[in-house]
């Protein structure tokens, strides 16, 4: 007997739409299958058997996050196939900061009305993010919330688990004055500060499809550009150099995130002139009359991740990372972050 409830449908929840969504997303999920996946989607739990060979003391590392109000841009543009990349990025970019390799990911979609094609688009982005991170999408949940959310509204969050051998966990206590701060470029605003972004650009009433010459694309395209995923280059870097600290530059910008990888008594002295900042940030600062310190305390300013190595390892690290460059050094100070 097929599962169907007319009473539940009249209350606003169509469980058959959920089944159709699972069918449509299956092809995307299959793209993420890696060795270790034991179960297919649809069960009560996602099963994964990690390969522990060669590890002295395996440690599991977990991270969870959502996309935040960047989702409003996707809803206004009716484009939903990239925000899943943001969701994965916000989790896996965090767990790589201690040197962990992401193993698997689960997502959670709360939606006003379950439109199978829309849900499949969202999951397509999640799957793409997992492919970029080298992890598997082994499960998730879609919950229809009629009467609590508008029919077009949804929220997206995720959870990732990674693994690292305990002796290889990045040890910030090896950091010394004179060590080099490397920047990995961001793809744009990523997925933080969008409450301020939406206010500055008045997105509810702006023409997001208008081409901006300064940006070389439409405002909507710039704001919806997905967060860059740094897992693979950072793992390569750890093979080639001794990494002493990694920071994912998310909400709170430089001032909140860089100190999270610094020992007490040390600070990152950052050369502002060295930072390659995309034009979207200058537009934000100008239109919003935002003080410079607030910009660096809210946004990534073009630096999605920082990696700290000794001067002797800097060239090897940059070669492994691909497009990293030097933006500063570690100094003795209690200020934690010094912009100069």
Q: The domain that contains 135 carries what CATH number?
A: 3.30.1330.10
Q: For residue 1, what pLDDT is reported?
A: 47
Identify whether residues 236 and 200 lie together within a single domain: yes
Q: For residue 25, what pLDDT is reported?
A: 77
Average pLDDT for consecutive 10-residue bins of the chain (340 residues)? 64 68 82 90 87 96 97 98 98 98 98 95 98 97 94 97 97 97 98 97 96 95 98 98 98 97 97 98 97 98 98 98 98 97
Identify whether residues 99 and 220 lie together within a single domain: no
Domain boundary among 168, 185, 214: 168
Q: For residue 39, what pLDDT is reported?
A: 79
Kindly state whether residue 51 falls inside one of the protein's structural domains. Answer: no
Kindly state whether residue 178 falls inside one of the protein's structural domains. Answer: yes
Identify whether residues 178 and 162 lie together within a single domain: no
Identify whether residues 158 and 177 lie together within a single domain: no
Q: b/e string for 77-103 if b means 16 or more Cβ within 10 A?
A: bebbbbbbbbbbbbbbbbbbbbbbbbb
Q: For residue 15, what pLDDT is reported?
A: 66
C-alpha dihedral over 295, 298, 302, 304, to 10 degrees?
160
Kindly state whether residue 1 falls inside one of the protein's structural domains. Answer: no
Ramachandran region, residue 39 (left: φ > 0; alpha: ψ -120 to 50; beta: rest): beta
């Amino acid at each position: 007997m097929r599962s169907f409830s007319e009473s539940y449908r009249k209350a606003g929840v169509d469980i058959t739409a959920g089944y159709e969504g699972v069918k449509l997303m299956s092809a995307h999920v299959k793209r993420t299958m890696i060795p270790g996946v034991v179960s297919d989607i649809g069960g009560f739990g996602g099963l994964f058997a990690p390969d522990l060979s060669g590890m002295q003391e395996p440690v599991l590392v977990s991270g969870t996050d959502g996309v935040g109000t960047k989702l409003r841009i996707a809803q206004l543009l009716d484009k939903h196939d990239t925000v899943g990349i943001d969701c994965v990025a916000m989790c896996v970019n965090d767990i790589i900061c201690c040197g962990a390799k992401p193993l698997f990911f689960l997502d959670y979609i709360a939606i006003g009305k379950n439109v199978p094609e829309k849900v499949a688009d969202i999951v397509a982005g999640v799957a793409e993010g997992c492919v970029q991170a080298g992890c598997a999408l082994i499960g998730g949940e879609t919950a229809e919330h009629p009467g609590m959310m508008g029919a077009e509204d949804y929220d997206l969050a995720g959870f990732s688990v990674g693994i690292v051998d305990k002796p290889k966990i990045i040890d910030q206590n090896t950091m010394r004055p004179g060590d080099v701060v490397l920047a990995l470029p961001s793809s744009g605003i990523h997925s933080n500060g969008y409450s301020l972004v939406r206010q500055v650009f008045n997105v509810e009433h702006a023409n997001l499809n208008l081409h901006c010459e300064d940006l070389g694309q439409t405002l909507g395209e710039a704001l919806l550009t997905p967060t860059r995923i740094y897992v693979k280059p950072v793992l390569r870097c750890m093979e080639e150099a001794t990494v002493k600290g990694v920071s994912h530059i998310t909400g709170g910008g430089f001032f909140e995130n860089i100190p999270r990888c610094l020992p007490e008594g040390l600070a990152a002295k950052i050369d502002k002139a060295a930072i390659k900042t995309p034009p979207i940030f200058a537009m934000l600062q100008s239109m919003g009359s935002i003080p410079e310190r607030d910009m660096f305390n809210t946004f990534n300013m073009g630096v999605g991740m920082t990696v700290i190595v000794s001067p002797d390892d800097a060239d090897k690290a940059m070669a492994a990372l691909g497009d990293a460059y030097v933006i500063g050094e570690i100094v003795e100070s209690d200020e934690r972050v010094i912009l100069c």
